[in-house]
Chain A
Amino acid sequence: MTDPSATDFTPDERPMTAAFRADRRALDLTEYEAAGGYEALRKALRELAPTDVTKVVSDAGLRGRGGAGYATGRKWSFVPMGDDAPSVKYVVCNGDEMEPGSFKDRYLIEGSPHLLIEGMALACYAIGAKTGYIFLRDQYDKPHALLTRALAEARAKGYLGERILGSDFNLEINLHVSIGRYMCGEASGMLNALQSDRPNPRWRPPHMASAGLWSRPTVINNVESLCCLPGIVRLGAERWHALGRTDEGGTRICGVSGRARRTGAWELPVGTPMREMIEQYAGGMRDGYTLRAVLPGGASTPLLSAAEIDVLMDFDHMKQVGTGLGTGTALLIDDSVCPVGLCLNLLRFFAQESCGWCTPCWAGLPWTVGVLSDIEEGRGRPEHLDLLVEQMWFMGEQMCFCDLAPSATKALGTALKLFRDEFERHIDEHHCSYRTADSTARR
């Protein structure tokens, strides 16, 4: 199969990306409008009450695209509504795409910044927020420039501001470019960062839906979740849901990086088999490389062995095989990659990004890095493997304040099962055999 680029599909099949230009230049406002842009917002403001929008999103079955997969409509339903509700509420877009291996949010913004703005407008309308914030990763210079321009265009055209499209709905969206930390991607840490506080996670309650940003009701949605909204509103819950190939429904951005023939991101029906994505969309492995495992949804998901890639890519099926869909962007691990070096590299990242709040994370991750370095560099001892297992218990979900450390060790946990012999060989032979090979774990 040739490159199945997005342009091969209609907006009804691929609601987010069908209009993307082949040359990857972002759609400007005119182009976005020509492709049906802002029609969903127009429809919502004319025909739907805010709670109806929430209902459509719930019925469509949209689950959060940031990684946890929480039902978006349900998340919104906790926001106090009605006359007694606080008059100030916020929608915050999580664009702090810091997950190693993930680039789908960038792909969406760089393809169509107005898609995100329209999605935010719909979310704000649904929960009654008059202010939205887009929290963008520091290094995203191009999305930064595109969003800045798109917001100005939207304001000038009356998609933002007072009495939008003749309705009673007012909305201002602010772009906040972060100084950049992994913890800013954790929803409550992000709110703290927006408030100029340290991006430490918050204890719940209070839940953010009732007391979030500046202790006002707040909804935090991932860029992609918001980008799904115009399609859902335009197509209706049923038609959008029917796009999926499993019960979960809808489409999502999936991506591949690693030594595939074609790396990239594609909007695929939810439930597309991973093998189909790797072999058809990504064109399979490059010559001379064999797939050994997949890091399916970013650095904080458990490894999937190559034997299991027939799994259907939705949250439930991925969970059934012991991993997670995460961000939906898969990193292919081939036979030139040292599993110990891979884990070391991942753990280094997480140890670097620990916010320093809870002990298992800030003290446990650096120690784990130390042990993995020892093994990788030939200083490993047999008891180190038990120590690693102990560390993973110590950084378990019940032990930590947030999910950073438990997630950080997921890949390591599966690597110890899938590649235990490799770890043992490092220890027995006091060196990493991949380092002598042409390709190393470091490249």
Chain B
Amino acid sequence: MATVAITIEGTRYEVDDTRNLLDICLSLGYDVPYFCWHPAMGSIGACRQCAVKLFWDDDDDKGEVVMSCLTRPRAGNRVAISDDEVVRFRARVIELLMTSHPHDCPVCDEGGECHLQDMTVMTGHAYRRYTYAKRTFENHDLGPFVTHEMNRCIQCYRCLRFYVDYAGGRDFAAFGLRNEVYFGRLRDGALDSEFSGNLVEVCPVGVFDDKTFAAHYTRKWDLQTAPAVCPYCARGCNTIAGERYGELRRVLNRYNGEVNGYFLCDRGRYGYGSVNAVERVRQPIVGLAGLSASELVRGLGARLESALGERRVAVGARPRVARPRPVGIGSPRASLEANFALKRMVGDDRFFLGMAEREHTLVERAAELLRAGPSATPSLRDIEAADLVIVLGEDLTNTAPMLDFAVRRWARLRPTADEERLGIARWNDAGIGMVKKEEPKALWIAATHAGKLDEIAAETWHAAPDDLASFTLALAAALAPQRRRRATKTPLSDEAARVERYAAALRAATRPVVISGVSCGSVALLEAAAALARALPSLPAAASDTAAPAGTPDASAPPAAAVPAAPAGAAPLALVVPEVNTLGLMLLGGRRLSDAFRLAAEGDVEVALVIENDLYRRAPAASIDAFLRACGTVIVVDHVKTATGAAAAAVLPAASWAEGTGTFVSLEGRAQRSLQVMPAPRPAQPTWRWLSALAAAARLPVGQDWITLDHLLDELARERPDLAPATRAAPPADARFTGMKIPREASRASGRTAMHADVSVFDAPPPADRDAPMSFSMEGYRGRPPASLIARYHAPRWNSVQALNKFQEEIAGPLRGGDPGVRLIEPPSAGAGAAGAGAAAPAGGAAATAPAGAAQPATAPRVVAPAPGRLLAAARHHIYGSEELSMLAAPVAGRAPEPYLALGARDAERLGAREGRPLAVVLHGAGEPRLSLPVRIDDSLPEGLAGLPVGLPGLPFLDLPAELEIDDGGDRA
């Protein structure tokens, strides 16, 4: 990279010559129209919309028309955007693109946020001269997520490039030629890619739009929007969620250069139906009908008070004979604030994390490993800077889809020596793609079964979870300097040869990244992955510097970008955990759910408070039944109806993620604030407010003063200095911007003063938001908000999502002020000394009390072959199906598979199982469930290994991996 001096519109700039002129002009704030170029996908030069006049130097008075997206700056160049010829040319491009466009803006979902509209106005084209027939197409039914209206197409090729080149989709192509290029599938059918929804944002016109949004369509300016965090997995992708008339209507990407960039997965985009679902708890549910919410709280409070009162007596007078006391069961899908409030209410020793037994062990170990370091968790930019990625035991497509996408995009864009040798600019997308296709692959996978990422991997290997752990340890050992394999004459065994192949690739890597996680249920694998990361070199600081230039976060921004990714000698390690706040909950700390069962069984639980957690997903039904029976009173606070709620004495209606503000900690260890999109429908309110109300009714010493979220956050910062950085994930509620709040509605919103006119013509005051510095109104601060409070992308002349350009330091760089979120986990050596920068010093909580065991060498797990006649069943996660809340959204549920049993071909033959035919099995795990499931033959499974989906409706709780055998009803015994 070199800096060269060029002149743009008469002003001299020093610019980076590895960028193209379009990127440079946009970064500097000039409006240059474009279509086919995309900030995340580079240049192809098809649309010709970004033409500028280039004068070679001061002596050049003729100049030439160049496409700015395909032109690198050279010292002395003069660039004219407003030159007459290019102004005329750009208007003509629009005129030509419009020749077959249907001009159906009034009935087009894109209208009002359409890049073609913006560019048309920007170029000044207005009057149609083309008088010939328009070409027309038939459209496809692309499934429940995306609409298809090909007549609107302007042939920019973005959809094809995104779907095929970046997302790896195979069921989409460009057909035909000239002005009749058709972008779609071969025939009707749901788009297969897990990232298909991004077509909605990638397409600059209305060819691909959000089908779920169309079902309750509202113009962009009539949506009330807020910055949210996707609640449907642990990746923590940033979203913009939009509401009208109390209904959540759509989710769009919210850019975060460290987390999800420009994209979302389809679970994240289309799972929002859980907020509108019929399964929502909208009123208190109690055994005694007719109680109002406040009466119920008073009653429950009294119940709570009596329980606590008895405790006070018990503690003081007769400590040995403890009376029943309330317990709190938290939730990995509830916010940090809700869990913290519950923990404060019931006390540290009465707070249980509410995870499944095995999951608790796994996540606890994962948190320990991440906190102990020396590996840091990689951000998106760290992954993009890698030269090798190894994935161990995770089917990322289904367990953390946007990590899958990050790996795919990295695989396409990772810099290689060939590209440099050939002089291919980083933005030359076609050139990069062409060369990359012929390069050796740099993704290595070992997992329990075949995944979609396998097709871009150099090698994949499928084995049982503990075998994966042994393999990973062998790999780590092979990388140790003293263990470099001497050249031997004897041929290697298959296993040793495999280790050697992986090790050889890892040895050659200078910037490797390790990705593993808890999904296949092996603690040994977590430890082995950490050991492997320790045996690998770290990302050089320079790598992350070049990946995030100009990343100068302001004082309130996270310090993460400034801290080197990891000390020498440890590769970044990403560990996938299941839910949106799994890691936050573990960092908060608490006891195991099984301990709560034991307490209840001993008659020690008078009142159980369960927040946002369906316990039937955490343990076998019999255990939960017994637990709920043993508790005196079960109070559930949740926003959806669950089996647990059905068994509870009372269910209080919580605000959903879209109706309350809260902080969630992603698998990266990044604490991010998700802001309330709309007022919670009365009487629903955030879980912590219910807890506060209960505390008041029970006259508890804590919780009564949690009036606003900031009160609770202040208490969190006080009580838990290690989590204090989380409170800075977004500005406090009393922050003002030139004296105003940030509006949730667009300046041209027609709604607020009119939308309830059918009820009353009087202009009702907008609801107050006590928890965030945002208003439920179009009134407020019109300038650029802080990065964590971006509710929509809009800039003068830019109404589409492309307005994002105006919110970044530079194109595809960090948002102005730094990308949102605060990393809570930095390796000790990086965080030490920097007060409050990291959370390395544990301060209470179950996870924190464990010693930093990661420093000890991991030992190989004892691999036990399944007993004769048995198979080992490993867990299979599904992007559509395994997550609880998103399955309440019909479009997502419609894509979920039916429960099945996956068998390898040889095992299936041995068992006489046939594809699609049901097979009765008994699982030798928690609850010993008996299942009869249709068989799915999966050739990727090694002999002895089977697969069972987890979390699907209709399946009981499955504790996997576990052995299973044919349930012959005793016939074969």
- Chain A interface (Cβ within 8 Å of chain B)? 181, 183, 198, 202-203, 205-206, 210-211, 214-216, 351-360, 362-367, 370, 387, 390, 394, 396, 398-401
Contacts and interface: CB of A to CB of B under 8 A. Distances in A.
A203 B424 CA distance: 10
B178 A215 contact: no
23 contacts: A181-B177, A203-B70, A203-B428, A203-B430, A206-B422, A211-B435, A214-B437, A214-B438, A354-B177, A355-B177, A356-B155, A356-B179, A357-B46, A359-B96, A359-B155, A360-B96, A362-B178, A364-B96, A367-B130, A398-B64, A398-B65, A399-B48, A401-B46
Nearest to B431: A206
7 smallest beta-carbon distances between A and B, as pairs: A363-B96, A356-B181, A370-B132, A398-B65, A206-B422, A354-B178, A215-B438
B205 to A, nearest CB: 14
Interface of B: 44-49, 51, 64-66, 70, 89, 92-93, 96-97, 99-100, 129-132, 155, 157, 174, 176-181, 418, 421-424, 428, 430-431, 434-435, 437-438
A359 B434 contact: no
A353 B178 contact: yes
Contact of B66 (A366, A390, A398): A398
Contacts of B174: 198, 356
Contact of B132 (A352, A367, A394, A401): A367
B422 A356 contact: no
Contacts of B181: 356, 362
Given A353-B178, A362-B155, A394-B92, A215 B434 contact: yes
A359 B178 contact: no
B129 to A, nearest CB: 7
A351 B46 contact: no
B179 A362 contact: yes
A181 B418 CA distance: 31
Nearest to B89: A399
Contacts of A354: 177-179
A360 B178 CA distance: 11
A202 B434 contact: yes
Contacts of B89: 394, 399
A400 B48 CA distance: 7
Most A-side CB within 10 Å, residue of B51, B131, B179? B179
Contacts of A215: 418, 434-435, 437-438
B179 A399 contact: no
A382 B465 CA distance: 78
Nearest to B43: A203
A365 B89 CA distance: 16
A367 B431 contact: no
A199 to B, nearest CB: 9
A82 to B, nearest CB: 15
A204 to B, nearest CB: 8
A11 B175 CA distance: 48
Nearest to B430: A203
Contacts, number: 113
Contact of B47 (A206, A216, A359, A398): A359
Given A203-B431, A351-B178, A367 B99 contact: yes
A353 B179 CA distance: 10
Contacts of A351: 178
B119 to A, nearest CB: 12
Nearest to B177: A356
Contacts of B423: 205-206
A202 B437 contact: no
Contacts of A202: 430-431, 434
B68 to A, nearest CB: 13
Contact of B434 (A183, A211, A355, A357): A211
B98 to A, nearest CB: 9
A215 B419 CA distance: 10
A205 B422 contact: yes
A363 B46 contact: no
Contact of B178 (A203, A365, A387): A365
Contact of B180 (A211, A356, A357): A356
A206 B424 contact: yes
A390 B93 CA distance: 12
A366 B99 CA distance: 10
A360 B176 CA distance: 17
A367 B93 CA distance: 13
B48 A359 contact: yes
Contacts of B435: 206, 211, 215
B45 A358 contact: yes
B48 A401 contact: yes
Nearest to B53: A398
Given A387-B129, A399-B65, A356 B92 contact: no
Nearest to B156: A359
Nearest to A197: B434
A355 B175 CA distance: 11
A275 B64 CA distance: 38
Given A366-B178, A401-B46, 10 more contacts: A206-B423, A356-B176, A359-B48, A359-B155, A360-B48, A360-B96, A362-B155, A363-B100, A367-B99, A399-B89
B202 to A, nearest CB: 18
A359 B70 contact: no
Contacts of B438: 214-216
A442 B635 CA distance: 87
Nearest to A206: B422
A399 B51 contact: yes
B95 to A, nearest CB: 9
Nearest to B131: A370
Nearest to A207: B422
Contacts of A387: 129
Contacts of B421: 210
A388 B325 CA distance: 88
Nearest to B63: A398
Contacts of B92: 390, 394
Contacts of A400: 48
Contact of A356 (B64, B129, B178): B178
Contacts of A198: 174
B44 A359 contact: no
Contacts of A181: 177
Nearest to B133: A370
A197 to B, nearest CB: 9
B431 A205 contact: yes
Nearest to A387: B129
B426 to A, nearest CB: 13
A379 B100 CA distance: 21
A198 B165 CA distance: 14
Contacts of A399: 48, 51, 65, 89
A240 B448 CA distance: 68
A61 B719 CA distance: 85
B52 to A, nearest CB: 11
Contacts of B437: 214-215
Nearest to A86: B418
A96 to B, nearest CB: 15
B97 A210 contact: no
A352 B178 contact: yes
A363 B99 CA distance: 7
Nearest to A214: B438
Contacts of B424: 205-206, 211
A359 B422 CA distance: 28
With a 10 A CB-CB cut-off, give which of A183, A203, A214, A394 has the most chain B CB atoms: A203
A390 B85 CA distance: 12
Contacts of B132: 366-367, 370
Contacts of A394: 89, 92, 96
Contacts of B93: 359-360
Contacts of B97: 359, 363
Contacts of B176: 356
Contacts of A355: 177-178
Nearest to B135: A366
B422 A210 contact: yes
Contacts of A356: 155, 174, 176-181
A401 B431 contact: no
A408 B425 CA distance: 31
